[in-house]
Chains A and B, each alone.
Chain A
Amino acid sequence: MKSFEEQFYIENPTRIKAFKRDLLLLLWLFKRALMWTGKGLFIRLAYNKAKATGKPLVLEDTLKD
């Protein structure tokens, strides 16, 4: 899997390459925003519950691949 820099840093890009990079980056950001609002919401709720009950949240169960 490539790092952020490997994916989105382009040396001397053409206009088309830069446009394509921007689109892919927007998609990447959108996925992350979606994850924070969707899956993230459930995780934050479970996390708050774990804090209130004292029963630790198991990361492997919460963040399944």
Chain B
Amino acid sequence: MKKDFPSSELPFAYRHQPLSGNIINGLGETEKIAATQIFHGSGARELEWGKLELFFGLINPFKVSWLNLVNRWMLRNADGVISKNKRNVESLSDMTSEIKELAMKFGAGSVGISPMIKQALYKHGEINYTNAIVILYPMDGNEMKYVTTNRAGAETMRAYMEITKAAITISEEIRAMGWRARAYCEGADILHIPLAINAGLGELGKHGSLICREFGSSMRIATVLTDLPLNHDKPIDIAVDDLCIGCRRCTIDCPVDAISDDKQMVRGEEKWYVDFDKCVPYFTETAGCGICIEVCPWSKPDRGFSLSEKLLEKRAKKLNKEKFINI
């Protein structure tokens, strides 16, 4: 049964609907093509659904708007001066451990490292770094209970600020070692989720967001791109699909029925996909929505590890049973 969330009747509309976000996103496209920015741009580019994004920015309450401006001001240090004394990397594993320790010390809740992959770039995107340090920062579960309200919107922005500070500090430390490094945070020119999955931080959930064992989906992602040589983490299997296939919490609770029960073909890949045209207008109306993240069983505090363990165990048992029957 649907919970009592705000109505799906919206007090605003387009006279001429922009090109469907699903078409722009490559829904049904069987060829592997790069993604195109539609809505959450980095604040200066003309986007197909840009009017709605501008409207979202203007109806935001003062606190959210103010935090956003402060965040943007901090981002001037996302790139900067590189030390002339380049530190040699003698041991990749030592350097990787050092960077991960630094990330945790500077406030990251979880960290993983991926090579830079082309799936993380938008069409016409050109970013020439070799590695991506992906960090996660948890949102406060007590505040996120108020999803669809400005209170949860402010918590999201606070989490963005904290993760921005962490990512900038990591990039500054790496530049002080004489290596190139650049922090990408809120509304960036790169796609964080493919990098996070490749960095072994989690898997894509039915609701189109990353699911990790530490925080479920109740977190923000930031990435530091760098040329510093590092060991890469491998993608992990935490059995997200095992639950998502049968679980209908987000599909049922989504007031606009934007979440599908089946994976779909998107830019040459069969994956979970959220209907953009249904989701984003409601997202705009409800301070960034977040219902699917809040109701997701993975997002319950301290639940992810045990849930993943149980699901993997269940899968192994099922496989063993099938093997036995076949024998």
Q: How far is the CA of A1 from the CA of B69 in the complex (A)?
A: 20
Q: A9-B78, A56-B10 are in contact. Are A4 and B58 (CB under 8 A)?
A: no
Q: Kindly state whether residue B324 has any CB partner on chain A within 8 Å.
A: no
Report the minimum CB–CB distance from A2 to chain B (whole Å).
6
Q: How far is the CA of A10 from the CA of B76 in the complex (A)?
A: 8
Q: A1-B45, A2-B44 are in contact. Are A50 and B59 (CB under 8 A)?
A: no
Main SS of chain B's interface residues? loop
Report the minimum CB–CB distance from B127 to chain A (whole Å).
9
Choose among A22, A35, A39, A59 the residue that contacts B76 (Cβ–Cβ < 8 A): A22
Q: Kindly state whether residue A58 has any CB partner on chain B within 8 Å.
A: yes
- Residues from chain A with a CB closer than 8 A to the CB of B46 are 1
Report the minimum CB–CB distance from A11 to chain B (whole Å).
5
Whether B43 contacts A4 by the Cβ 8 Å rule is: yes
- Residues from chain A with a CB closer than 8 A to the CB of B14 are 58-60
Closest B-chain residue to A41, C-beta based? B58
Stretch touching chain A among B49-57, B107-115, B148-156: B49-57
Q: Kindly state whether residue B189 has any CB partner on chain A within 8 Å.
A: yes
Whether B16 contacts A60 by the Cβ 8 Å rule is: yes
Residues of B at under 8 Å CB distance from A?
10-16, 41-46, 51-52, 54-55, 57-60, 65, 69, 72-73, 75-76, 78-82, 180, 182, 184, 187-189
The 7 tightest CB contacts between A and B, nearest first, are: A4-B42, A40-B58, A50-B11, A57-B12, A56-B13, A9-B79, A3-B42
